[in-house]
Amino acid sequence: MTKVLIIDEDPAIQDGYKIGLEKRGFIVSQAFDGPSGIEKAQTESPDAILLDIMMPGTDGLEVLQNLKENEKTRKIPVMIITNFGREEYIKKALDLGIKEFILKHRATPDEVSDKIKQALA
């Protein structure tokens, strides 16, 4: 079973994707801020991470940088899932090695599931 960690401060977004992904056979864990997301990534070793950019405190790009600098989490595919498609965010995230940049308001759970499978293929 594929384990996915969702790091996003919005419980409604989290629950929507969690339910949708679990219906498609994924095991989903959740973190609601950057520091707890980093900790869960290190302790749970998920197969993939869905990461929001705009979070209070430690933003998603800082979390991504931390994940890519850490030996234990460096190789986990990270997909940014956000409502902010600004060029500078996309460029920095791509430079840091994300697998996919997904806009929340356009992505269904089926599409996100497919993108996770593609990232792991």
Q: Each residue's pLDDT tens digit in the chain (121 positions)? A: 999 999 999 999 899 999 999 999 999 999 999 999 999 999 999 999 999 988 888 889 999 999 999 999 999 999 998 887 678 878 888 888 888 888 887 888 889 999 999 998 8
d(CA 80, CA 82): 6
Supply angle C-alpha 45, 48, 43, rounded to 5: 15
Instruction: Decide: pTM greater than 0.75.
Output: yes
Which CATH topology does 3-120 take? Rossmann fold (3.40.50)
Residues 57 and 37: beta-carbon distance below 8 Å: no
